[in-house]
Amino acid sequence: MKVGFAGLGRMGQGMARRLLDAGHDLSVYDVVAAAAEPLAAAGARAAATVAELAAGRDVVVTMLVEDAHVRDVALGPGGLCESLGRGAIHLTMGTHGVATVRELEARHREAGQTLVAAPVLGRPDLAATGQLGIVVGGPEEAVTRCGALLEAMGRRTFVAGPKPESATAIKLANNAVLGCAMVAMAEGFSLVRKYDVEPQVFQDVMTEGLFAAPAYKVYGQKMVDESFDEVGSPIFVGLKDAKLIAAAAAIAHVPMPSHNVYLDRLLGAVAHGDGDRDQAVLGREQARACGID
C-alpha cells in the first residue's frame, strides 16, 4: 500500500518503521526534517512538504501530539484536505479532542476523502515492537482498508464503531482512568511513607495482588524508584490529554470529579518545574502535598 506518515517523534518513529518493515511503500514527513533521516536511510522517501507527502498516497497516517498540529497538517494550505486524492484516507493516530476530530471528519468528507481515527494505547517501546493497542473508529470499508497497517503497528485492534469520534472517546476515557490510577497510587505511597513503610513493599503488595496490571507495575515502580527522568509519557502530554478529557466531558455533560484531581496534580507538577518528566512524577507531587521531602 502507498502510505504517508507525518509526525516522527518517539512514537511515530517506531510506528513508521513497522510499516516500512512490513513492505509498504512509505513516504515520511516531519517539521523537523532531520527526524526523517533514519527512516530515509532504511528505504522510506522523505517528503519536504505535506503536499509532497500526500501525493499519490492511499493512506496518510498522522501521529501528532497537539490538536493544532493535526489541524495544520490536515486543514492548512497545502494540507491533506487539499493534497490527498479523492477516496484516500487520513488515518489519525494521535490523541485529539472530540471537536477537532469532528471538524476533520467533516472537512475530509467535503473533499471526498475519509477520516479514520485510530488512537494508540502504549508507550514508545511498545510502538517500536508493534505491541500497541489501537482503538479504531470510522466507516467500515475504510477501517478494513487500513487493516494491514493497523496489524503492522499493533498487537490488537479494538473497533469502536463507524464514527471516528467513538475511538476518540474511548482513548480519552482510558486516559482518564489511567490518570486517576496514578493519583490513587501516589496517595497510597504517601500514606505508607508517613508510617515509615518502604514504598517497594507497598508496590509489591499492589502488583502481586489486586492490581497486577501494567499501569500499576510500570508507573508504581517508577514512583518507588523516583526514575522520573526516564520519560515514557511526560507530564505536558498528560496535561494536554487531561484538558481534552475535560472538554469531551463538558460537551457530553459528564461530571468527572476524580479526573479533576488528576488535572490539578498535573498543573501542580508543571508549576514545580516537572513538566518534562514522566507522569509518574505525580508521586512526588502528592508527597509535596503531604509535607514529605
Instruction: Give the catalytic positions in this structure.
Output: 171
Torsions phi, psi for 277 (to 5 deg): -90, 165
CA R_g for the chain: 20
Torsions phi, psi for 103 (to 5 deg): -65, -45
Which candidate, 259, 172, 279, places its Cα nearest to that of 218?
279
d(CA 26, CA 39): 9
Q: Is the dihedral of CA 39, 43, 49, 51 positive or negative?
A: negative
Which candidate, 161, 188, 174, 194, places its Cα nearest to that of 242?
174
For helices 199-207 and 164-194, give the axis angle rounded to 10 degrees.
Answer: 140
Which candidate, 86, 36, 33, 31, places its Cα nearest to that of 58?
86
Supply 292's cell numbers: 514529605
d(CA 225, CA 233): 16
Supply 156's cell numbers: 490488537
Q: How many other C-beta atoms are found inside a 10 Å radius of the C-beta of residue 255? A: 9
Quickly tell me which residue has 498528560 as its cell: 238
d(CA 233, CA 124): 9
Neighbouring-strand partners of residue 55 = none
d(CA 228, CA 177): 21
**Residue 30 and residue 48 in contact, taking contact as beta carbons nearer than 8 Å:** no
